[in-house]
Amino acid sequence: MSAPKTVTIKELARRAGVSHSTVSRALNNHPSVAAETAARIQQLARELHYVPSATARTLKTNRSRVLGVIVNRIADPFYSEVLGGLQSVAYRSGYSVFISAFEYDPERELNLMRTLLARQVDALLLFSSTFPARRLEQLGALPVPVLFIHNRATDVLPHSIYHNDRSGTRALTRHLLALGHRRIAYGGNVRGGLLHQQRRQGVVDALEELGLALPPAYDLLAPDGQMRSGAVLAEQLLALAERPTAIICFNDMQALGLMQALQSAGLRIPDDISVAGFDDIPLAAFLYPSLTTYHQPQWELGELAAQAALFRLGEAVPDPRAAFDVITLEGRLMVRNSTAPPPRS
Amino acid sequence: MSAPKTVTIKELARRAGVSHSTVSRALNNHPSVAAETAARIQQLARELHYVPSATARTLKTNRSRVLGVIVNRIADPFYSEVLGGLQSVAYRSGYSVFISAFEYDPERELNLMRTLLARQVDALLLFSSTFPARRLEQLGALPVPVLFIHNRATDVLPHSIYHNDRSGTRALTRHLLALGHRRIAYGGNVRGGLLHQQRRQGVVDALEELGLALPPAYDLLAPDGQMRSGAVLAEQLLALAERPTAIICFNDMQALGLMQALQSAGLRIPDDISVAGFDDIPLAAFLYPSLTTYHQPQWELGELAAQAALFRLGEAVPDPRAAFDVITLEGRLMVRNSTAPPPRS
DNA sequence: ACGATTGCTGCAATCGTGTGCAAATCTAAG
DNA sequence: CTTAGATTTGCACACGATTGCAGCAATCGT
């Protein structure tokens, strides 16, 4: 290896024959430093590959230009898409992002928040947090803005971004009703919190419009929003005396697992049973059969979340919605091949 | 909001009636502090929600417990899976990760490296970097270990993790040959660098075993490894006078785009043409038809990369391979439904 | 009872940067 | 040539933590 001596502002000052204060000002284009001195110092800085220590700067200025992000799972196609948009906006404004996953573990989520706060992030972005605002008090007075995106706890929170889940599943249910389905099930998510409640309610809404109800036997619950939960749903579904002709899942991942399990049990989709998801993850269009679902703009959600955070930090951002206290995004129905009229029998 | 006054070590010292040095030692379980004093201070720290400033600690100790990671695209299913494993290992050792994407832009990649170094990460992990080692000199003497994973530049680098690409495509090609295919194409990647060369070579190897060659007309090149490149390949393929009966793509994303384009052009897969990918991204099994591909252990790759970095930093890690200078991972052939014997005609 | 040892705590310097204020230099006018 | 004013630079402290060293009190040995 070569000499790992990092060149500091003092070293630079020594070589330039000025004090380190002058160097600091020169590099930050402070007006009170002579133009030629500044140019000379900047030139020297380039030659020596000087990189200012963001750490020291953060310590001094109390601003790190770092966003802390906590999601459920990075590898989840939904979140990875969101993170892409988020990081991209952050980059443009010169921010970096800590990304961490709590993997369905509230303990870990709290831990991660502590860590990120200790690292002095300028803002905290919590996706699908299961935290009731009350538990946040465990962290003391929060020194930075905290944004909740798709919050699952049922509190009303100051800065948050929601998605119109209820009208989403309502649209999906109407679509199925229009196809002629009358026996429609909903596959819930125990850990879904508010998201689960809203999505379930949308189904109930649409059924009620036709004077129908969601029978308890069709009001299902899976342990989470991952693929394996789809298999759990399939089991419950196959055990029913009178099987539904259609099912709306909590999200696409669940639907994916469900379709796979149903297909390997010999059922044909959509001929024997229609399946719908929620989110429209990028692969939804490429499944077999391609998945009818409700589209959430994921990349855009990430961009918006980043902008909302940056706005709170006084940065200029293009999207005017970033200034809102509570943002609600609208999605749209994506009809594909996993839904069709119910079987004749 | 409540008072955003962050409680510092001095404040804590004042309230406890000791000096801040004692507080520091008490919190770090330094042996030379009286047990009861330590207990009292720790108790107080908890009550006041004291969080030590990682920034200050980093400045003083010159260790941040942060890994800097640069990938091509976060939203790419391959990388998001890798990042999941990586972050998970990092978390267990108390490390945080900066994750950033250079989106196929070398300029941006260099920029990100600068930023992460300025932020004093303890190690830098570069995935699919296009950097020749020479260009790294632009950054001066690197003060931290840099690991290259799936490096695309053709230099030999000190710390790196590779995948056995060549034997991967060789296995895929043999599989197709065994099915009876003789007209086999390869869909390359202009920006694939070393990865592209190796994968292409594997195809050539297997063909040569039977005394065959890869004809120039079947030696294709797409602009990158994303879906849209699959469409480009499809166009080239359909324009050929004598169409190949099978094609091996640079990676799964390309294969995905290709299949879609071919199908919407009326071709049936695998009846009319067999398609194979590379990587085995999680959705490969759920495509229609499910994709024959070469499996790379993505989550494990992320875990291993993190461990290799942590090992360089003197941390204890479970996987002994982490100590190797150069690690090569082996994959395995995944035969699914996108490949079949060639059409009779 | 007295010096030596041990155990605990505080002082002060340091990491690399930013910044208020004083000091030094320069410019130009009287 | 003197001096006021403008311009440029340096001194010194601060941010929040870690750590070598010195100091002080308590305990021990003889």
Among the partner-chain residues A55, A101, A139, the one whose CB lies closest to the CB of B120 is A55
- Give the model confidence (pLDDT) of B253-284 as tens digits: 999 999 999 999 999 999 999 999 999 999 89
DSSP A184: E
Instruction: Identify the sign of the CA torsion A225, A230, A236, A242.
Output: positive
Q: Do A6 and B143 touch (CB under 8 A)?
A: yes
Measured distance CA(B162)–CA(B228) in Å, rounded: 26
For range B172-194, the mean pLDDT: 96
Picking from B262, B254, B274, B114, the residue whose alpha carbon sits closest to that of residue B195 is B254
Work out the pLDDT band at B2, boundaries 50, 70, 90: very low
Longest dimension (CA), chain B: 91
- For residue B315 the two structure tokens come to 């941390």
Which nucleotides of strand C lie within 7 A of protein CB?
7-12, 14-20
Record: contact B4-A115, CB cut-off 8 A: no
- Rounded to whole angstroms, how far apart are CA atoms B108 and B85? 25
In this complex, the answer to whether residue A51 has its CB under 7 A from any atom of chain D, a nucleic strand, is: no
Those residues with Cβ within 8 angstroms of residue A101's Cβ, 6 or more apart along the chain or in another chain = A70, A71, A72, A73, A74, B84, B87, B88, B91
Amino acid B1: pLDDT: 38
Burial A36-73 (b: 16+ CB within 10 A, else e): eebeebeebbeeebbbbbbbbbbbeeeebbbbbbbbbb
Query: Is residue A213 exposed (0-12), middle (13-18) or buried (19+ Cβ within 10 Å)?
Result: exposed
Give a three-class secondary structure readout of B190-231.
HHHHHHHHHHHHHHHHHHHHCCCCCCHHHEEEECCCCHHHHH
Residues of chain A neighbouring B11 (CB-CB closer than 8 A):
none
- Please, which pLDDT band fits residue B135 given cuts at 50, 70 and 90? confident
CA of A31 to C1' of C21 (A): 17
* The dihedral sign for the CA sequence B232, B236, B239, B244: negative
CA Rg value for chain A: 26
- Strand A293-295 and strand A332-334: the pairing is antiparallel
Alpha-carbon distance of A334 to B224, in angstroms, equals 29
> What pLDDT is attached to residue A136?
76
Among residues A138, A286, A38, which one has the least CA distance to residue B255? A286
* Nearest residue on chain A to B109, alpha-carbon basis: A91
Between A and B, how many residue pairs show a Cβ–Cβ distance under 8 A?
172
Separation CA A273–CA A242 (nearest Å)? 12
Q: What is the pLDDT of residue B4?
A: 54
**Which nt sits closest to B41, CA to C1'?**
C9
Yes or no: say if B207 and B246 are a contact pair by the CB < 8 Å rule: no
Pair B78, A83: CB distance under 8 Å:
no
Distance from CA of B55 to the nearest CA of A (A): 6
State the CB neighbour count (10 A cutoff) for residue B35: 9
Which residue did the predictor score with more confidence, B170 or B1?
B170
Length of chain A: 345
Residue of A nearest to B287 (CA): A287
**Any strand D atom closer than 7 Å to A17 CB:** yes
Q: Do A97 and B101 touch (CB under 8 A)?
A: no
In chain A, residues 59 through 118 whose Cβ sits under 7 angstroms from any atom of nucleic acid strand C: 59-61
Distance CA A326, CA A148 (A): 10
Residue B3's pLDDT band, with cuts at 50, 70 and 90, is very low
pLDDT tens digits, B312-336:
999 999 999 999 999 999 999 999 9
pLDDT digits (tens, 9 = 90+) for A27-76: 998 888 888 889 999 999 999 989 999 999 999 999 999 999 999 999 99
Supply the pLDDT for residue A1.
37
User: Quick one: pLDDT at residue A130?
Assistant: 80
pTM: 0.93
Residues of A in contact with B51 (CB under 8 A): 114, 117-118, 140
* Contacts with A207 (C-beta within 8 Å, 6 or more apart), sequence order: A173, A177, A184, A213, A214
Which residues of chain B make contact with A79, given a CB cutoff of 8 A? Answer: 80
What is the least distance, in Å, from the CA of A169 to any CA of chain B? Answer: 24
Could you say which of B49, B100, B138 has the minimum Cβ distance to residue A87? Answer: B100
Nucleotide nearest to A11 (CA to C1'): C16
The segments of chain A whose pLDDT lies below 70 read 1-5, 156
The mean pLDDT of B28-37, rounded to a whole number, is 88
Indicate yes or no: CB of A98 within 8 angstroms of CB of B103: no
**Greatest C-alpha distance within chain A:** 91
Are the beta carbons of A283 and B288 separated by less than 8 Å? no
pLDDT score at B5: 67
Q: Does any strand D atom come closer than 7 Å to the Cβ of B24?
A: yes
**Residues forming beta bridges with residue A248, ordered by sequence position:** A186, A276
